Amino acid sequence: MKTIIEPFRIKSVEPVFVTTPEERESILKAAFYNPFLIDARHVLIDLLTDSGTSAMSSYQWAGMMQGDESYAGSSSFFHFERVVKSITGMPFIIPTHQGRASEKILFSILGGPGKFFISNTLFDTTRANIEFSGATGIDLLCEEGKHPAIPAPFKGNLDTAALKQCIQEKGAKNIPAVILTITNNSGGGQPVSMRNIKAVKAICAAHHIPFYIDACRFAENAYFIKLREDGYQNRSIEDIAREMFSYADGATMSAKKDAFANIGGFLALHDEALARECRNLLIITEGFPTYGGLAGRDLEAIAIGLKEVMEESYLQYRIRSIEYLSDKLHAAGVPVMRPAGGHAIYIDSKAFLPHIPVTQYPGQALVCELYLAGGIRSVEIGSLMFGKYDEAGALVPAAMELVRLAIPRRVYTQSHIDYVAEVVIDVFQRRESIKGLQITEEAPLLRHFTAKLRPVV
C-alpha cells in the first residue's frame, strides 16, 4: 500500500505548545537568532537533532526498571557488552555517556600536533575533539556527495583516490586513523557503500593505518546497503552490520541515535593496549569501566534499543518517512539533498536563498525563518557550524550550506510531517524577503551551539 504506517502503537503522549508569530519573533530575538538558545517549551516541532530525542519502546522502559545500579560489575553492563560485541565483533567495549565522550578519549590518545585524521566528512563534535588535541581533520567526500541536487546511491562515500594522495602527501606515520561516518551526517545523511568500506579498509591496511567507523546511524546505513547494493538484498540487517564492522579496527557510537536511547555511547576496539589506555582515561573523566558515566538503566535501554533498531519493519518505515517529506518538498521546488538521507531532510540554503551571501550565513537565516513561520526548530550545517577564518580574518566557508531537519525516531506522526512540509513550502514561496545574519559573539570551538547573531541591516 502507498500509505506509510508506523510499525507501533502510541501508549503515552506528551503535549506540545503553540506560540503566536509575535511571540516567536520576541523569543528568537531574545535567543540572539540562535535556535539552540530557545527554550524547548517554545518549540512546536523540534527537528534540531535526532540525538537523544527518540521515543523509547515499552521494552526499553521495562528494561530500565531492571537496571542494575551497582558501581562495579553491574549485570546491566554485561548485557550491554554482549549486545555490542555481537554486532561489532570487537572484544573491548567501553561505555561512555555519549559519542563525544568516546571521541574525546580516543583522540586525546591518538591525536596531537602534526597529526591528521581523514574522513568522508567529520561531524562537529568529532572535528572539535580532533582539533582540541592539536590535530587536523581532513574531509575527502566523494564527488557525487558535493552536489546536493544530483541523485546518487552512495553520496556518503570517501574519495579513495584522494585518500591515497593524502596519505602520500601527509605520510602514513602522521595519520593515526581514517574514520568513516555512517551515514554521513554532515554530507546530507547519505549512506556509505560496503564496497567503499572495503576499499578504504584495503588502503588503510596497505599503509598500516587504523580504520575506524563512526557508527551513530549504522542500522540506517545497513538498510541502504540492503536496498541499493548488489548482493545484499537477501541478507539481514544484523548480518550486513556485522560485515561493516568486520573491516574496522574500532568504532565510536552515540547511542542517542540508532539505539533509541536518551543518553549513552560506547567505544569498541580490537587493540587491547589501546583499550587499556582508553579505560584509564575513562576512569579519570567518565567513571568506572563498567558504567562509564551511565546509570545501569541506561545500559539496559541501549542494549535493547540496539536490537530493536535492526528490525526491518522499523527501518522501512523510518527511511520511507524521510523520503515522503523529501518528495513533497522537491515537488514544490524546494532545493533538497537528493536522494533523501536516512535521518533528516537537508535543504540547500545557497540555492534556497541565493540573494544572501555565505558571509551572512544563509543557512542560519533559513533556520530562523522556519522557526518564525511555524515554530519549527532545525539546525544549520554550513559556514556557521564549520566555517573557519584565514590569517586575515576573512571567512573560509564550509563545503556546503545546508539546513538539517532531523526527524526524531518514533516521535512524530505523518500529520506532523505534513505540517513541516507546509511551513517549508510557505517560506520558500516568499524567500526573497529573508535577510542575512552576522555574528556578534562566538566561542573558539563548536561556536554554533552558543553563538549570538543579529540581522544584517
Would you give the distance in Å from CA 22 to the centre of its chain? 32
Nearest to 222 by CA among 183, 185, 189: 183
Q: Which ranges of 137-256 does DSSP label H, i.e. alpha helix?
A: 160-170, 194-206, 218-228, 237-246
Which residue is it, cell 536516512? 342
Has residue 395 got a pLDDT over 90? no
For residue 331, count other CB atoms closer than 10 A to its CB.
10
Whose CA is closest to 404, among 372, 370, 449?
370
Order of strands across the sheet that contains 136-139: 92-96, 265-269, 250-254, 211-214, 177-181, 116-119, 136-139
Q: Is the pLDDT reported for residue 1 higher than 80?
A: no
Q: What is the pLDDT of residue 449?
A: 92
How sure is the predictor about 325, in pLDDT bands with cuts at 50, 70 and 90? very high
345 close to 404: Cβ distance less than 8 angstroms: yes
- Summarised one tens digit per residue, pLDDT across range 22-49 is 999 999 999 999 999 999 999 999 999 9
Backbone angles phi, psi at 92, to 5 degrees: -115, 110
DSSP state of 184: B
161: Cα separation from own chain's centroid: 25
Q: What is the pLDDT of residue 218?
A: 96
Supply 443's cell numbers: 566561542
Could you tell me the pLDDT band of residue 91, with boundaries at 50, 70 and 90?
A: very high
Write the DSSP assignment of 150-172 as a string of letters: S--TTTT-B-HHHHHHHHHHH-G
pLDDT tier, 117 (very low <50, low <70, confident <90, very high otherwise): very high
Place of cell 581533520: 137
Do the beta carbons of residue 79 and residue 306 sit within 8 Å?
no
| pLDDT for the residue numbered 186 | 81
Average confidence (pLDDT) over 330-337: 96
Q: Which secondary structure element, helix H or strand E, spans residue 117, and what is its range?
A: strand 116-119
pLDDT at 81 over 90: yes
Predicted local distance difference test score (pLDDT) of residue 446: 84
Mean pLDDT calculated for residue range 434-457: 93
For residue 88, the one-letter residue type is T
Residue 425 has pLDDT above 80, yes or no: yes
255: Cβ contacts below 8 Å, ≥ 6 apart: 98, 99, 261, 263, 264, 265, 266, 302, 305, 306
How confident is the model over 354-372, as a mean pLDDT? 97
pLDDT at 4: 83
CA atoms lying within 13 Å on the CB side of residue 274: 23
What's the pLDDT at 398? 86
Q: Which helix (H) or strand (E) covers residue 371, if one does?
A: helix 362-374
> What's the rounded mean pLDDT across residues 150-155?
94
Evaluate if residue 124 carries a pLDDT over 90.
no
Q: What is the pTM of this model?
A: 0.92
Q: Which amino acid is at 429?
A: Q
Predicted confidence (pLDDT) at residue 2 exceeds the cutoff of 80: no
Kindly tell me if the per-residue pLDDT of 249 is higher than 80: yes
Q: What is the pLDDT of residue 281?
A: 95
Q: What confidence score (pLDDT) does residue 423 get?
A: 98
CA dist., res. 201 & res. 192, Å (int): 13
pLDDT in tens, 268-283: 999 999 999 999 999 9
Find the helix packing angle between 272-285 and 99-110, rounded to 10°. 120
Q: Dihedrals φ, ψ of 353, to 5°?
A: -125, 65
> What b/e string do you get for 76-102 counting C-beta neighbours within 10 Å, with b at 16 or more?
bbebbbebbeebbebebbbbbbbbbbb
285-323 pLDDT, tens digit per residue, is: 999 999 999 999 999 999 999 999 999 999 999 999 999
Residue 452 burial (CB < 10 Å; 0-12/13-18/19+)?
A: middle
Q: Which of 354, 353, 335, 355 has its CA nearest to residue 345?
A: 335
Least confident of 122-126, 264-268, 369-373: 122-126
In angstroms and rounded to an integer, the radius of gyration of the C-alpha atoms of the chain is 21
What pLDDT is attached to residue 155? Answer: 95
